[in-house]
Amino acid sequence: MKQKTTLSQSIDTVQQKAQYDAACKKVLAEKIILAWIMKHTMKEYGDYDVGEIAERYILGEPKSAETPVLPDETRVPKIIGVGVEDTSLNEGTVTYDIQFRAIIPGTEEVVQMIINVEAQNDFYPGYPIVKRGIYYCARMISSQYGTVFTKSHYEKVQKVYSIWICMNPPQERNNTITKYSLSEENCVGSVKEEKEYYDLMTAVMICLGTQDETMENDLLRLLDVLLSSDKKATEKKAILERDFKIPMTETMEGKVEQMCNLSDGVEQKGIEKGLQRGVERGIQLGLQQEKLENAKSLLDILSDEEISKRIRLPIEEVRRIREEAMTE
C-alpha cells in the first residue's frame, strides 16, 4: 500500500484540527456554558444564577461559525439575523466563532456578544490580540447601522462584548481574566454623563494556563476542564456535572464526546507526522521563522526584553533584529 505523502498527511492533520476547533465551538455555544462566561465576565449578569441567565436572558440559539472563510482572519458574524457573517465593502466576508444576543437583566435593552477561541501558541501573532478584540467591538457597533438604528437615532446603539478565550497565552497571563472598556475622565471641570451613554464596548481576554485543581476562579476551572487535552470524555462529563452542575443532556454529552474523540485524533496525527524527520525539521524552521517575523512586527510596540519574553526568543537575537531594522 502506497504511503501517504508528507503533504497529504499535513492536509489530513489540518482538516482534523479544523474539525476539532468546530467541535470546541459547538460545546462553548451551549447556553449553559455561555451563561458561565457571562456571569464571570459581564457585570450585568454577576448577581444572577447561571441557570437563570441561560434560560431567561440569552436570546434565541447562539450561532457558531464552523467553516472559516480565511485562515488568517477567520472570525466576525452579522449581529442581527441568522448568519454568523459580517460583510464590508473593503474587507469582504469574515466569520466570528460564536455570536449571540442577550437581554440585560432589569431592562429591555439588548447586548450583543461574540466569543472567540484562540488556540495559537503566541498571544502576539504579529499584533496584540487585545487590539483585534477592540476592533471587533468597533465593527459590531458600526454594523448596527441599518439594522438596529437608521439615520441619526444613535440612542438605539446597543452595547457589544468581544470575549476571547486564549488557550496558550504568555506565562504572565496564565489564569487571568482582563477587561478593556471605555471610561469617563474629566480633563477640565467636573461633569458626569450617564454611563450607559458611553459604556458601549468591552473586550475581555480569558487566558487559560497550567491546570490547577485548587484554582479559585470557577470560570477558569470550568474552561480548563472543558478544553483540556488530558482528560477523557467520561472524566470531563463527570466533573462538569458534579462540580459545575451542568446537566449532561444527550446533546451536551454528544458534543463533549465528539470534541474529545477529535482531540485524540489530532494528537495521533501529530505524532505520526512528527516521526518523519524531514517534516519535524521543517516545522522547527517554520516556527523559528515565524518568531523572527513576529519579533520584527513588535519592535515599535515592546522593548527587547518584553519581545524576548513573549516570543521566547533569546534577547541577543532580538537585539540583532532591532539593529538590522535600524540600518534598513
Confidence band (pLDDT; 50, 70, 90) for 8? low
Backbone phi and psi for residue 206, each to the nearest 5 degrees, phi listed first: -100, 110
Which of 168, 98, 183, 173 has the alpha carbon at shortest distance from 136? 98
pLDDT of residue 288: 65
Q: What proportion of the chain, given as a percentage, has pLDDT over 70?
A: 73
Write the secondary structure of 29-64 as one string of H (helix), E (strand) and C (coil).
CCHHHHHHHHHHHCHHHCCCCHHHHHHHHEEEEEEE
Between 302 and 80, the more confident residue is 302
Mean pLDDT of 255-267: 72
What's the whole-model pTM score?
0.70
Write the secondary structure of 212-267 as one string of H (helix), E (strand) and C (coil).
CCCCCCHHHHHHHHHHCCCCCHHHHHHHHHHHHCCCCCHHHHHHHHHHHHHHHHHH
Q: Is the predicted pLDDT of residue 120 greater than 60, yes or no?
A: no
User: Is residue 128 left, alpha or beta, with left meaning phi > 0 and alpha meaning psi from -120 to 50?
Assistant: beta
Between 280 and 154, the more confident residue is 154
Write the secondary structure of 187-223 as one string of H (helix), E (strand) and C (coil).
CCCCCCCCHHHHCCEEEEEEECCCCCCCCCCHHHHHH
Between 124 and 87, the more confident residue is 124
The residues near 197 (Cβ < 8 Å, ≥ 6 apart) are none
Grid coordinates representing 224 are 480548563
- d(Cα 248, Cα 256) in Å, to the nearest integer? 9
Domain-wise residue ranges, the chain: 6-183+194-263, 276-328
Q: Please report how many Cα atoms fall inside a 13 Å half-sphere around the Cα of residue 135, on the Cβ side.
A: 11
Mean pLDDT of the chain: 77
Q: Which of 9-13, 113-117, 231-235, 282-286 has maximum average pLDDT? A: 231-235
Backbone phi and psi for residue 95, each to the nearest 5 degrees, phi listed first: -125, 145
Cross-strand pairs, 101: 59, 112
Q: What proportion of the chain, given as a percentage, has pLDDT over 90?
A: 30
